[in-house]
Structure 1
Amino acid sequence: MEEPLQISLFPLLLLLQSLLVLSLEYSVPDKYFINCGSKTNAGDNFVAESSIRFRFPKDSFTDAEDNKSSTAPPLYRTARIFPSSSTYKFGVDQRGYHLVRLHFYAFSSSRNLSATARFDVSVPGFWLLRNFTLEKYSNSARVEEFYLNIDNDSFQIDFRPLESHIAFVNAIELFRLPDNFISDDFTGDIHISSSVLHTSYRLNVGGPELNKTEDDELRRNWEEDDQYAINGIKYESSINLKYKGDDSSYVGLAATKFIGPDPVYRTARVMNSKSEMDTDLFNITWKLGVKRNTTYFVRAHFYDVTSTPVGILKFSLYTYNNMRQLIKSEFDQNAVPFPFYYDFVVDSDEWEIMNITVGPDKSSTIKNAFLNGLEVMEITNTRGPSSVKEPPNQSHLHLKQGLGFGALAVICILVGLILFRKFRKDEFGKTLDWSPLNAKGGGSSHGRRGSSHGSSIANLNLGLKISFQEIQSATNNFHRKRIIGKGGFGNVYKGNLKNGLKVAVKRCEPGSSGQGLPEFQAEIMVLSRIRHRHLVSLIGYCDERSEMILVYEYMEKGTLRDHLYNSNLPSLSWKQRLEICIGAARGLNYLHKGAAGGIIHRDVKSTNILLDENHIAKVADFGLSRTGSLDQQQPHVTTGVKGTFGYLDPEYFRSQQLTEKSDVYSFGVVLLEVLCARPAIAVDPAIPREQANLAEWGIFCKNKGTLEEIIDPTIKSQIDPKSLRRFCETVEKCVQDDGCERPAMGDVLWDLEYSLQLQRGARVRKVEDDSSSTASASLQLANVRRLPSLSSLDETDDMAILKIDESGSAVGSVFSQMKFDDDRAFGLFQIETRDSYTVQRI
C-alpha cells in the first residue's frame, strides 16, 4: 500500500508571512500630486488637474503664464483661480497622519496674482492659512506644509478669498505618512493628533540644502543651517548608516529613512576644537525666528559621527538656556551607531527668537556635542469651519428660507426674554458679577463666541463696537507699514479714526495658536468696566466677519522694554524710571483694591507696560486677567497656570493658586529689569547659565553685596544711594519665593514713592519760612516710616479722587499719621505729586 503524499505547510507559511511583511512596508503613495489649473502633467510626480474629477464653482477658472520661455518651473506656470469660496475634495484610502503641501507662485500672467490674491485656507475643523498673500512678486515658490490626522474617508481643502480679492493655488500634495511618524506619548496635555503642525524650519545641520525629490522620499526640503547656527563646525561622515528603526526588536526613538534621510544623518555640526571641548560653558546654539507666545513641536535628529566605539557620548540639549534632555549617543551590541531622534514641545516667549542649544555634560568623560538635523513646527489648535457650504439646490431654496425665518423668530423671542429678565434684575438693584470665562472656545465665525455660560456677545459692551469697515479705513486696510507690534494675539497696527483720534488696533490672527476668544472677551469685559489714568483705555472692539479686533488709545512711546534694552531709543533717567514704576504700581494697585472687585492681571511684564508721549506708564493686555471676590477666607483663585516664563510666580506655578501676590512677584522682576536693563530670561548663549534668570541672579548679587555691578551703567552715576537701597529692598520683598512674605501692591507703591523722594532729596518744611512751628524745618522725609499713598485709596477711579491738571500733577487731601524717629505727628496734610512731593503741615 502506497504511503499517502505528505506536504509540509511550514515553508508555505513562511513565504506567506514574508509576503505579508513586504505588503505592510510603507511606501510613499502615488496620490495626490496635482498640477492645479493644468491639462498636462508636470515632471514625474504631478498629474494634470483635469485628469481628476474636481467640482468647482462656475466662476472658478485657470490661468497660465504668458511667457513660456520663463525660468519658472513647469509646475508653477498654471494656477487654479477662485473668485469665490471653493473646495478640493479627496477620497481617503487609509486614515491616519497625512502631509499636505500647498504651492504658491506669483508667475507673470495676464493677472497680477501677487496684488489681487488675499485669502484663507481651511480643512475640516482647522484654519491652515489666514489672510494669506504673496506680498510681492518673487521668482521662487512659496510652499506651506502641514501635518494633520485624517480620521474620515474623505477630506477637503477650502479656499476662501477675502472681500474684493481672489484665491489661487499652483499645486497640491496630499498623502499618508508612515505609522508612528508622530506620537502623542511625549506631549503631556498637548495632543498632537488633534492639532495641525505647520512647518516653520527643517534644517540639514552641518550639511547642504537637500533636493526634496532626490534626497528625501517624503519630498521634504532641508535647508542649510549656516544663517542660524552660532559656534560649531561642519562635519561629514562616510560611514554606512544602519537604521535601527527598521529592526522590530528595538523599541524607542530609533529613526527610519522616513524620519530622516541618509544625507541628514551623514552631516553634523560639532564642537570646534579640543580646547573648546574642555570648556564646560561652550555650546552650539541655533537662533530661530518664531511667533510670540506660541507652542512649537520640535524634532532633533542625532547620529554619532564623531565618537569611537569605546564609549558612549553624553551631552545636554537646552531650549531657552533651560535643560531639556540628556542625549546619549546610541550604539548596538556590536558598537555600531544608528540614527535616533527626540521630540519635544516648546512654548516661545515674547522675544520672537527660539534658542536650541547642545553642550557637553559635566559628568561625561568625552567633552563634545553634536546635532544632525532640526525640525520646528507650529502647533495650531485654532478651530476653523467644518466645511464650505455648496450653493443650495433651487428646489430646496424656499424650504431653507422658511426654516431660516422660523429660526430667526425663535432666536428673537429668546433674546427678548433674556433681556427682559436682565432688566428686571437690574431694576431691583442686584449686582451682576462677572465670573471667569470658559477657557475652551470652539466652533467658528460668530458661533465661536459661545461658552459654557451661554453667548458672551450679550455680555459685551455694545456701545464700544466699531465697524470693520471703519477699522479697515483707519489702518489703510491693515497695511503692513502700519504694524507697530506683534504678540500672541496677532499684529498691532497704528490707526486714525474718523474723528482724528490716534489708536492702536490689535487684530487677532485666527490661524495662530496664541491667544484667542477667551482673551478677547476678557479684555473687553475688564476694560469696559474700569477706567484709570495708569491703565490703557479700550476705545472699542469689532467682532464682525469672524474677526476679533481690539482698539486702544495709542501709546506714543511704546513699551517699557523698548526703552531699557535691545533698541536704539534714548536711555531713560533713573528719575523717569522710578516715575514709570510708580505709575504702573498705581494701575496694578487699583486692579487689586479698587472698586473693580479684585482683578489679578496674571501677565505683568515690561512689554505690557506702555508709555504715552509724556512717558506716563499704563498697564496693558488684560487677556489673561482673572477676577473674583478675594478675601481672607479665600485669598486665591485656583486656575491653570498662565503667564510668561521669567515673570511667573513660582508659588503659583507649584500650587496653581493665583493670588494678588503673583502680580507682585512679576512686578518685582520688572523692577529688576528697570534697574539692570536686562531681560527677565537671558537669550544670549554667551551669558552663564546661573545668570540667565534675572530674578535669581539679582537676589544672588544683592545678598553677595555686588548688585551695583549689574546696574545699568547709563544710570549708575545718577542714583542716590538711599534711593537705591530702598528700591533694592522693595525688589527683594517682591520676589520672595513664599507669597505671604511679599508685600501688597499698595505697600510696593508706597516704597517706590519713598525711593523717589529720597532721589529728589525731598524734605518736610514749614508753611512759612519764618515759622517757629515745632515741626523742624530741616526734618527729612527719610525719617518718615509710613505715608499713605493717594494711589492706595480704595476708590472707583483716581480721576475722581484727584484733581488732574493739564501738566499731569495730582493734588488731594488726606488724613495721615506720620511716625518719626522721636515723636508722633498727627494732622491734615496736603500732598502734591509729580514734580515735588513736598509735605506741608496745615
Structure 2
Amino acid sequence: MEKHQSHRPNIPKPPLFIFLLHFLTLHLNISSAYEIPVKYFINCGSKETVNNGSRNFVGDKKSSTSKTGFFFTKPSSTDTNINQSPSNISALYNTARIFKEQSSYVFKTGGVNTTYLVRLHFFAFSSHTDLSTAVFDVSASGFLLLHNFTAQSSKRFPLIKEFFIPTNTSKFQISFTPKQSSFAFVNAIEVFPAPPLNFSLGEAKNAGEQQPTSVLQTVYRINVGGPRIESDRDTVWRNWETDDSYLVDKSSAYTYKTTVSFKNLFDETPELVYMSAKVMSNTTGNSKVTWSFVVNKTAGHLVRTHFCDIISISENTLAFKVYINSNISQEINATNYLRNYSPFHIDFQVGSHDSGVMNVSIGPVNPEIDKSPFLNGLEIFEITDTLTSMPAAATESNSPKTTVVSSVLGSVAFLCILAAGFYFFYKRRRSKAIENSVWSKRSSTTKHPVQNLNLGLKIPFSEIKSATKNFSPTQQIGKGGFGIVYKGILSNGTQVAIKRSSPGSGQGLSEFETEIMVLSKIRHQHLVSLIGYCEERSEMILVYEFMENGSLTDHLYNSDSPSLSWKQRLDICIGAARGLKYLHNDSPQVIIHRDVKSANILLDQNLIAKVADFGLSKSGPPEESHISTKVKGTFGYLDPEYFTSQQLSQKSDVYSFGVVLLEVLCARPAIDTHLPRDQINLAEWAKYCNNKGVIEEIIDPSIKTQINPNSLQKFMETAEKCLQEEGVDRPSMVDVIWDLEYALQYQQTPVPREPHEDSTITASSAFVMPDARRLPSLDSTIYIDDDSATLSENLPHLNAGESSPQMRTQNFDQ
C-alpha cells in the first residue's frame, strides 16, 4: 500500500485573507471503504421507522438511552402533516418534533476527539401548527449552528443543514432554543462520525484539553462538469450539485468525461466527481474560467477544490492557477501535483468579504503555453468560530459543584470584561485624539475636496442634534450602508432626512465626500437634493430633502406600505430612468451611479421617483468609453461585464436598472437567499420562467390582472435589452425612457388586437430573456428643468404593431 503524500508549500499570506493550503495526493485502491462506527438516523416526532434510501430513520417517540443511544431533555410535542405530501417528498417529512422551551437531543458517542457530521432536516408541512413561523437557535457542543433560524423557505421542499462539528466529550448534544413567543421544530436528524476529510478544525487532542475552535457548515458542494449526485451514491450521503448555474460565462469552458473508474478514495469523494471536469475553452479568448457564489459576507470560509488529470495524453504537460476572489492564488503544476488519474484536493481558508460574493477561478500560468486548466469538484464551507458562538444548552442536572464553579467563572469573566472596557475606552479616546490631530495636520496643508468647494451647505452639529431630538431612536426611519437615517426638522422648519455615519458601516470618508461633491453641483427633479452636511466632532452627517414615501423597495416587499398599481410602477420607473439619463447625458461630467437598485430609488409625497445614494458613484469626461475601477455595488444588480473586466461604463447602470424593472414586475428582491437555490437570483429565475413559458406566474399577484398585455410585452422587451451580457448591446437610458413611455402609453390607451393576431400569445412568448450570468442574482451649480416632459408630449399615439422610434445620441461607451 502506498503512503499518502502531503505537501504544504511555503506561500506568503496575502493581505486581508488567511491562506491555508492543504494538499493530498490520492492513489487508486489506497484505503478500504469507510465504515461508520456508530450512527444515529432519527425520525423526529414519530414512533415509526422510515426507510430513506440506504438509511433507516428510527422514530424518537418513547426513546430511551438503553434502546436507542439517545434521549431529549425536556418535554416536547409532535406534529403531523395533515395533507398528503407530493410523491417526490419522503415520508420522513410527515412528522416533526416541536419544542416550546429549550431542549436537547443527547447522544452516546463512541469516543472523544471526534468530528461528527450532523444533518438537520426541516420541512414546514401543512399542519395545525404553522411550522413556517417558527424562529429559533440551534447549538451543538458549545457552537451556535443556526441563529434566529426560520424554515419559511422549506414550504415546498425540505431544507437540510449540514455541519462538521469536532467534540472532545463522550456525549454529543444538539440543543433547540425557541425565541420568545415562538417555538422550534425539526423533522429528522443525522449524527455520525465523519470520515477522515482532513479539515483543519482545531480538534482537541485528548479529553480535558481545550475546546475545539471551529465548525464547518456546508454551503455548496459541486460536481463540476458532471451530473447531480444523489445522496445514495455517496458513502456518507452527501448531495452534489451541477455547476452550470454558477458558471459566470458558459462559453469559457467545456465538459470533459472519462470512463475510468476510481475506487476507495481516501476522503470518500464519489468517483463520479473525478470522472468529469470543466476544461477552459481555447476559442473564446477568456483568461479565466470563473464560478460565482453568494456567501455570508460576515463569515470566513473553507474552500476545497478537487482535481484529477483525466485530460492529458501524457504526464508533466499541465500547469495552471487556482484563484479565490482574485486575492488568493496557487499554481497547480505537473511537478508538485498532477499525475494522470491521481485525484487530489487543495483547501483555501478565506476571510470574510464585504461583497458577499465568492469567485473561484482557474486560469493558465502562461496563456501561450498552458491551454487546459480544469476543475473536477468544489466544496464551500462556512466557518463558525466558538468565540462568537452561544454556549450549548445546560445539562439535565446542575450540581452544587457546578454552581460554585460557574459563579467563580462568572466573577472572573465580569472582571475581565470590566478591564477590557476600560482598555478600549482609553484606546478609543486616544485614537480619536490621534485622528483629530492627523485631520488637523492634513487640513492645514492640503484641504480635502469638500473644503475646497467653500459651499454654504455646512450645518452645525448642534442643529443636527436638535433636529433629531439628540438622535432619538423614535426619529430613526431606516439604516443603510452609510449608517442610520433619522427624520428631522431644521430650525427654518424644513423637514429633512439625516444620514449619520456609523462605525463599521463599511463606508466612510470617501463615500461622504463623493456624495457631497456630486449632489452639491447638480439639481434635477428625479435626483434627491442635498440640503447640507456636517463634519464636526469627527462626525460625518448628510442632510437630504425628506421623501415621505420611503424607498421603492418599501412598496414592493418586506413592508406594510400600500401596493403600487401597474401605472404607478411605470411612472416610477420612467422617473428613475430620467434621473439616470441626466447623470449619463446632461451633467457637466458623465456620472455613473454604480449602485442602482430599488432601495436607492426614493418616492416623495406624490410618488415622484428620485435616485439617491451617490456614495459609490464615479465621474469622467464624456469622451472616455469606460472607467477602470475596483468593483463595487450590490450583488444581484452588478453588471457581469463590469464584474469580470473591472471596466465601468454607463451601461453598467443600465444593467442594474434592468434588474430593478424585474423587481418592479415581480415584487421580490434581486437576491433572496431564503428561496430554493434555483430561485435566489431574480434575473436568472425570470429567464428560466420565461424559457418555460410561465413568466406570468412570477408577476406580483396584486397587479397581474391590471396589466395590458401589450404594455407587459414592451416592458419585458425593455428589461431584456437592459440585461444583455455585453454592454454594447444594451440601450442608453434615453432609449429606455422611450420604451417605458411606450409601455405606459399602451397601458393608458388599450390597443385592440387585429383579427389575424393569435389571442393566446402572452408576453412571455413574445421575447427571449438573455442568459443571465450568476454572480456572485465622481462647476458651478446647475439647475435643470425636467427635460423629459417633451418626450411624453411628443409621443405619438400608437397603433397595433408599430415599433418605437429610437433616439440616436452620442453615448458614453460608444
TM-score, structure 1 normalization: 0.47
TM-score, structure 2 normalization: 0.49
